[in-house]
């Protein structure tokens, strides 16, 4: 028990929100008479929150550097409008249109990153201006009207599913197979980590604790894939999300770029003296945010099957809240991609659960605001205890 307590204490940000997510899910599962975790609703949860989770991955990098981006909702709307003109009005090939849309998102990010990194205008001001600018451009480009419908192949980004190669009748067999493969990967990774720790003489957790952690992950993975297999299987957007999570987690945990981002957010002057090119890092973090905002806009447009002037409203608030709830620090230097995803899922489950039990939007907004305040307060309380 002492080992478990010590492990939890060292990873309180990460494990605390995982436990909170589990309890919130159980709470709403009971209140909704089992509707929350039904296969159809679990799939809807993924589809409804996918674009916020994409934004949260980029936003957590911005927050770790000590900045903020208020423009992502407007940028998502602008890129959605931009893609609609290419695919619907100009009948452009969807693949080419998606590539050009992502490049436009990178240009938007570079524009904002330039003002923040090199001109030293606070990110709050730059992105607030961007929020107004790109919302206005969206209305101009769309002329105040919606553009629809998108090509069927483009819509599959948000509404499509991986086909079942095994042609299961009542179950999506491929989804179950993927669950088993992921479980095997988890066990192998845990074994490999322990082997490396032993080789270099690093401190290791007990064997039974490693086994318990692996068993819990395997259980969650297979339960999740079993639920999805009862409907249509794994959505295409979930594959995109998993790839993004894997790439960005690797970059932040294993690559020099990730260490530079953490160093910049921890202490910009010290990072600069240590050889980190702080301006360049800040610039590329905003370019990355622009690309992910563009991807979010494409995902939302594909799900809605329409580009509308009001798209992306409050996306930035949900993305920022997901990061802070997931353990990112308001002062920078702290946060994880997985934490942002967990924070986004907490918000998504709460939204879905409150809607299912019939709570009005006014109550939902108030409760989400309170949860965000408590999450940031918890962060400050922890920092005061350790300082």
Q: Which residues make up the CATH 1.10.3470 domain(s) of the chain? A: 15-159+236-378
Per-residue tens of pLDDT for the chain, all 387 residues: 555 555 555 555 566 778 888 889 999 999 999 999 999 999 999 999 999 999 999 999 999 999 999 999 999 999 999 999 999 999 999 999 999 999 999 999 999 999 999 999 999 999 999 999 999 999 999 998 999 999 999 999 999 999 998 888 889 999 999 999 999 999 998 888 888 888 888 777 777 878 888 898 899 999 999 999 999 999 999 999 999 999 999 999 989 999 999 999 999 999 999 999 999 999 999 999 999 999 999 999 999 999 999 999 989 999 999 999 888 888 888 899 999 999 999 999 999 999 999 888 888 888 888 888 887 777 677 666 655
pTM of the model: 0.92
Residues in CB range of 166: below 8 A, 6 or more apart: 173, 174, 177
How far apart, in whole angstroms, are the C-alpha atoms of residue 53 and residue 51? 5
- The CATH T-level fold of domain 15-159+236-378 is ABC transporter involved in vitamin B12 uptake, BtuC (1.10.3470)
């Amino acid at each position: 028990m002492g080992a478990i307590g010590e492990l939890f204490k060292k990873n309180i940000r990460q494990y605390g929100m995982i436990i909170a997510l589990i309890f919130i899910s159980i709470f709403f599962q009971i209140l909704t008479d089992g509707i929350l975790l039904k296969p159809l609703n679990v799939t809807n949860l993924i589809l409804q929150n996918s674009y916020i989770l994409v934004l949260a991955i980029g936003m957590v990098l911005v927050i770790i550097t000590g900045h903020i981006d208020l423009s992502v909702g407007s940028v998502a709307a602008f890129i959605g409008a931009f893609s609609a003109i290419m695919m619907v009005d100009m009948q452009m090939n969807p693949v080419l249109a998606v590539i050009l849309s992502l490049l436009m998102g990178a240009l938007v990010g570079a524009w904002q990153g330039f003002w923040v990194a090199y001109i030293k205008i606070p990110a709050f001001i730059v992105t607030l201006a961007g929020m107004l600018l790109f919302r206005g451009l969206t209305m101009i480009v769309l002329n105040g009207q919606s553009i629809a419908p998108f090509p069927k192949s483009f819509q599959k980004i948000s509404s499509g599913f991986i086909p079942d190669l095994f042609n299961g009748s009542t179950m999506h067999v491929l989804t179950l197979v993927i669950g088993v493969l992921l479980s095997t990967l988890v066990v192998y990774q845990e074994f490999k980590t322990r082997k490396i720790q032993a080789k270099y003489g690093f401190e290791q957790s007990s064997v039974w604790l490693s086994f318990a952690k692996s068993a819990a992950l395997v259980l969650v993975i297979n339960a999740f894939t079993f639920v999805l297999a009862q409907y249509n299987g794994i959505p295409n957007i979930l594959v995109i999300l998993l790839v993004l999570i894997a790439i960005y987690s690797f970059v932040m945990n294993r690559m020099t770029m990730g260490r530079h981002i953490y160093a910049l957010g921890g202490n910009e002057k010290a990072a600069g003296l240590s050889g980190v090119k702080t301006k360049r890092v800040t610039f590329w973090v905003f370019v990355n945010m622009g690309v992910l905002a563009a991807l979010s806009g494409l995902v939302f447009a594909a799900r809605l099957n329409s580009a509308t002037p009001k798209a992306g409203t409050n996306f930035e608030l949900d993305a920022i809240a997901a990061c802070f709830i997931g353990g990112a620090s308001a002062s920078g230097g702290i946060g994880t991609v997985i934490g942002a995803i967990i924070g986004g899922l907490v918000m998504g489950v709460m939204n879905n659960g409150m809607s299912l039990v019939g709570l009005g939007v006014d109550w939902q907004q108030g409760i989400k605001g309170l949860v965000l305040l408590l999450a940031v307060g918890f962060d400050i309380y922890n920092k005061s205890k350790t300082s």
